[in-house]
Amino acid sequence: MDAFSSYFQDITNIPHDSLIALRGLFKPTTMHKDEFYARHGEKAQKLAFLQKGIVRVFYQNDTGEEFNKLFIKSPAIVAAYASLITQKSAIIDIQCLTDCEILEANFE
């Protein structure tokens, strides 16, 4: 079983057919160290399953000072959730701390 399937099976007993359908919504891509998956001020439209790598989620104040909220290591779901749900601009940044392999899905 791959990391994607294992991740969701650990959360819930999802039927195999549903898991295959869910996996079909995601497309593989690679992001490089220091790239941003989400930027504050931009509206999020995608979410990712982090297969390999580490990202950080942080806020910036008005002077640009950064405050780390959390660090996420694979496997995990990564997104600017509030922006996805509200369709308003993100208030966080998500930055790759390593090269990352992700599976990405459109949330539209």
The pLDDT tens digits of the residues spanning 12-67 come to 888 989 999 999 999 999 999 999 999 999 999 999 999 999 999 999 999 989 99
Domain ranges, residue 86: 28-106
56 in a domain, yes or no?
yes
pLDDT tens digits for range 57-95: 999 999 989 999 999 999 999 999 999 999 999 999 999
**How many domains are contained in the chain?**
1
16 in a domain, yes or no?
no
Report CA dihedral (80, 22, 53, 83) to the nearest 10 degrees.
0
**What is the per-residue pLDDT for 1?**
62
17 in a domain, yes or no?
no
**What is the per-residue pLDDT for 21?**
94
Chain CA centroid to CA 51, Å:
10
**What is the per-residue pLDDT for 2?**
87
Packing angle between helix 16-23 and helix 3-11, nearest 10 degrees?
130
**What is the per-residue pLDDT for 108?**
74
59 in a domain, yes or no?
yes
pLDDT tens digits for range 93-104: 999 999 999 999
19 in a domain, yes or no?
no
Q: Tell if the pTM clears 0.75, that is, is over it.
A: yes
Output the domain CATH number for residue 88.
2.60.120.10
